[in-house]
Chains A and B, each alone.
Chain A
Amino acid sequence: MADRYWILGTGTWSSTNTANWSATSGGAGGASVPTASDNVFFDANSNVGTGAFTVTMANSPRVCNDFTASGLDGTMTLAGTSIGLTVSGSLTFQATNFNRTYTGTTTFNATTTGKTVTTNGVTFGGSAVTFDGVGGEWTLGSALTCGAITVTNGTFSTSASNYAITATLFSSSNSNARTINLNASTISLSNSNFLLFTTSTNLTLNAGTSTINGSNASATFDGGGLTYYNVAFTSTALASPSITGANTFNNLSITGRTTVGIGVLSLSANQTINGTLTVSAGTASAYRMQISSNTVGTTRTLTCAAIASTTDVDFRDITIAGAHGTLSGTRLGDCKGNSGITFDAAKTVFYRQTGSANWGATGSGSWSATSGGSLDATMFPLAQDTAVFPAATYPASGSTTTINASYNIGTIDMSLRTSNTMTLATSSTSPAIYGNWINGTGLSFSGTGAITVIGRTTQQITSAGRSFTQTFSPIEGGTTILQLQDAFTTTGSVGLGGATLDLQSYTLSTSTFASSTSATRTLAFGTGQISCTGTGTVWNTATTTGLTTTGTQVVNVTSTGSTAIGVTTGPLSEANSISFNFTGGTYALTFLGSSGHSARNVDFTGYAGTLGATSSVFIYGNFKVSSGMTLTASGSTMTFGATSGTQQITTNTKTLDFPITFNGVGGTFQLQDALTAGTARGINLTNGTLDLFGQTFTIGGANTNDRFTINAGTKNITFNGGTLVIATSSTIAFNNVAPTGFTTTAGTGTGTISMTSASAKSFIGGGSTFNCTLNQGGAGALTITGSNTFSNITNTYKTIGATSILFTAATTSTFADWNASGESTRLLTIGSVTAASHTLSKASGTVSADFLSISRSTATGGAGWYAGANSTDGGNNSGWIFTAPPAPSGSNSNFLMFF
């Protein structure tokens, strides 16, 4: 440890400059730059004569053991831009002739006790001061003024002299062993997050009889669950202060507002006040405070030994407990969820301003006890009250009444405003509504602030044909049921939190709708619909946990423009799924773009934009593509999953270029026009009925992934004259993986499965019965595996070229009819896949084929199997008759009878 004295006045305290350092006061320069173990002195010999001088710190934070500025006879400025000072011992600033202008952090890192910090009235300005030394102990030798003060390690004390601290914030949030002794000091803090003891593990706070004042309008006290003495929120314009941690106080004081409006103190935990809770009244009844739980429906308890007289305060989810007993006061507003508080009885008040004015006003206010009565300052409407606007005069027709703060409002009854018009303005304020909202036909609105609906009871809103401009969000409160009484329209948005929104079968029109939370909530449509008129994400139920929907569940996206729109449905269950109609526009649409998301009926009629790639999603109803829209290809599967009814699929010639799965036990999926799947897209039938309904379902092209697979489940293909065209060249082109539970139904007309690939392909029948025609429709050999039953078998490729139908050896294929033939020079080969025989069976009648080349084929069952006069016997056949069938004997008889 050495001593270093500054000499020669102005200079740089850097890591290399030794010219200004001496080993003795006023001695020769050239001493080494101080280290963390060296004491530094700035004294009467540090300058030249008595001139002012500046010591500019440079490089990394300057270090020293003790820092002493004392005896200065000229003004010294300790400067440095963003350069800190680390003091391992004590610090003493001289009260006069000393300025500090450096802007870095001053860190005290001693690891031994007995250190002092004496600034003698010299402020650190906005610069931070940190105490961070394991085993270190620092005691103030004078009041401390700085930016953020942080205790990271060690023991910090304001001293027995109770020196004050004035700082932006006081922080000690970690798990290090540390102690803070506040004695009887006053701690004045100005930042919004003024006390940050959030993690108080291993923190010993000795609050003494200290007072902590937070002066910010939105002061947050993160107390960490510790015991404090007096804490006060001192702003006279409190807006959104908060307290976190389950703390204990002696006195807790909230200063009343001197500006019109309402401040909301949010509590995230219970608080204990062993002295007095004081919530001071504001200037008038419209200058209010609100004390609330930070979570709607979760009560916070204030256990109070005493409570000062309380006036013009609203409470929400607050329980008053403790020795004070029930809180009674003046004009206490009941925002629900409270206990231990006696509220004013609900009353009806009447607007009394004659012209444009504010809801909350100073002096006599804006309200009267009677319609047309005198202004009465005590009649400010509380959350439990009904505020009525008289039919005329109050205000005069054409006037504007502005809800000028985020007040808690009960019922607003403006039903009498008809021929005498008025505008209700909210600007950007966010009032909360606890009762009904009743418009008259003469109402207009302005303002874009969000209105919270939170009455925890049934609340009705009557629009009277008037369109709102405000956002209504959130609708919350658990037991809140917001019921429409007629159509509701807002150019703002609607947000549903933990509550019920009951359309009562009316139409709700909004720019956007959102309900993405895990809260229990219900969206009841009845037969009503929601129209989303905006752009961007017009619908968002991304998080569907806790969401129940009832009724017809129809949402219309009505944009006719080109600005992109997103509809985020979330993974709604079939029962809760919602139908979406996209009625116009050319916008790019993001819809069903996330895995698991779902919709009920989807109708794009009128929409002419591009639907972005869909993810692995579910459709529980109809799916109707418009002729003007563009579908984006996707490798993710769209599953049609309805479990009841008939769901219609209309593609308007658009290719569905994504894998498709039909998987709804009990559901029927019915084509309304031809459906063409994209190349490389597999089709799966797992549960439910695929009703071709006379249409053609074409699956893929040359890609081997374009297969049609029948999976484990209860499933059916109903043809009704429709055709399943499988163009895939694959050994599993038609793959009945799980024949159990698989049936086919012919329905009306003749259905067909046509295997059209020009390359070899397989029909894996699984031994099932196919009440349709199996057609060889391409040049590639068709291999049929399994002992299946078919209504018919045909070969439509014969007019183009020769091809083959091969059966698996040792299988028996049963046919009600056989119409597979070749043509001259284009023989149809009938054979086995391997060098063994297969069996073909037909119970009765006559098979009349021709131009076949048959080998290893056993024809049986009772029918006459005539291969035709132009067929060839390739050997190892049985039952085939290589002639044309005889002419029906009955025909000649009839001919003769005719004559």
Chain B
Amino acid sequence: MTMKIDFSFSSQYGTFSDALHLPDDHAFTDAEIEAMKQQRFDNWIAVITAPPTEEV
């Protein structure tokens, strides 16, 4: 079974809302979970601020 941890970050680009789906018996520490959340958000920022790919 998995557990779901919802989280959100606010940014100038709008609110980023996401969830972590982890096994019920996961061994992640709170800090590691927070790091995963931050990583998700950082990845999102990277995607939405990347220069658009020109149509070919």
Question: A-side interface residues toward B, CB under 8 Å?
Answer: 415, 462, 464-465, 467, 485-487, 489, 491, 505-507, 509, 511, 527-529, 531, 533-536, 554, 556, 558-561, 563, 581, 583-584, 606
Contact = CB atoms under 8 A, between A and B. Distances in A.
B52 A533 contact: yes
Given A560-B49, A583-B13, 6 more contacts: A465-B36, A487-B19, A487-B44, A506-B18, A531-B13, A533-B48
A606 B18 CA distance: 24
Q: Which 7 A-B pairs have the closest CB atoms?
A: A556-B14, A487-B18, A486-B19, A533-B48, A535-B52, A558-B13, A465-B40
Nearest to B6: A505
A464 B21 contact: yes
A415 B21 CA distance: 10
A465 B20 CA distance: 8
Interface string B18-33: 1111000000000000
Contacts of A531: 13-14, 48
A464 to B, nearest CB: 7
A506 B52 contact: no
Contact of B12 (A465, A509, A559, A583): A583
Contacts of B40: 465, 487
B1 interface: no
B47 A467 contact: yes
Contacts of B6: 505
A506 B17 contact: yes
A529 B14 contact: yes
Contact of B18 (A486, A491, A511, A560): A486
Interface residues of B, number: 25
Contacts of B50: 491, 533
Contacts of A505: 6, 17
A68 to B, nearest CB: 57
Contacts of A561: 51-52
B12 A507 contact: no
B42 to A, nearest CB: 10
A556 B44 CA distance: 13
A506 B15 CA distance: 9
30 contacts: A415-B21, A462-B21, A465-B36, A465-B39, A465-B43, A485-B19, A486-B18, A486-B19, A486-B20, A486-B21, A487-B19, A487-B40, A489-B43, A491-B47, A491-B50, A491-B53, A505-B6, A509-B44, A509-B48, A529-B14, A531-B13, A533-B50, A534-B52, A554-B14, A556-B14, A558-B14, A558-B48, A561-B51, A563-B52, A583-B12
A231 to B, nearest CB: 40
B49 A507 contact: no
Nearest to A559: B52
Contacts of B13: 531, 556, 558, 583-584
Contacts of B15: 507, 527-529, 554
B17 A533 contact: no
A507 B40 CA distance: 12
A70 B11 CA distance: 87
Contacts, number: 85
A563 to B, nearest CB: 7
A558 B48 CA distance: 7
A352 to B, nearest CB: 25
A377 B39 CA distance: 41
Chain A CB count within 10 A is highest, among B14, B19, B40, B47, for: B14
Nearest to B55: A536
A465 B35 CA distance: 13
Contact of A485 (B14, B21, B55): B21
Contacts of B49: 533, 558, 560
A857 B52 CA distance: 72
B10 to A, nearest CB: 10
A529 B13 CA distance: 10
B52 A487 contact: no
A816 B50 CA distance: 63
B32 to A, nearest CB: 13
A215 B47 CA distance: 46
B38 to A, nearest CB: 11
Contacts of A464: 21
B52 A509 contact: no
Contacts of A560: 49
Contacts of A536: 55
A528 B43 CA distance: 18
A528 B47 CA distance: 18
Contact of A529 (B4, B17, B19): B17
Given A465-B40, A487-B44, A531-B48, A507 B16 contact: yes
Contacts of B4: 485-486
A506 B19 contact: yes
Contacts of B12: 583-584, 606
A415 B17 CA distance: 20
Given A485-B21, A491-B53, A511-B52, A583 B14 contact: yes
Nearest to A506: B17
A563 B54 CA distance: 10
Contacts of B19: 485-487, 506
A536 B43 CA distance: 23
Contacts of B47: 467, 489, 491, 509, 533
**Listed residue (A467, A489, A584) with the most chain B CB atoms within 10 angstroms of its CB:** A489
A581 B15 CA distance: 11
Contacts of A527: 15, 17
Nearest to B18: A487
A536 B12 CA distance: 21
B36 to A, nearest CB: 8
A524 B21 CA distance: 22
Contact of B16 (A462, A487, A491, A534): A487
B6 to A, nearest CB: 8
Contact of A489 (B36, B39, B44, B52): B44
Contacts of B39: 465
A561 to B, nearest CB: 6
A485 B17 CA distance: 10
A485 B43 CA distance: 17
A528 to B, nearest CB: 5
A465 B18 contact: yes
A558 to B, nearest CB: 5
Nearest to B9: A507
B31 to A, nearest CB: 18
B12 to A, nearest CB: 5
A269 B53 CA distance: 41
Contacts of B18: 465, 486-487, 506-507
A556 B13 CA distance: 6
Nearest to B14: A556
Interface centre among A464, A511, A558 (most CB of B within 10 A): A558
Nearest to A512: B52
A486 B21 CA distance: 8
A528 B17 CA distance: 7
A531 B48 CA distance: 8
A554 B14 CA distance: 9
Contacts of B43: 465, 467, 489
Contacts of A528: 15, 17
Contacts of A529: 14-15, 17
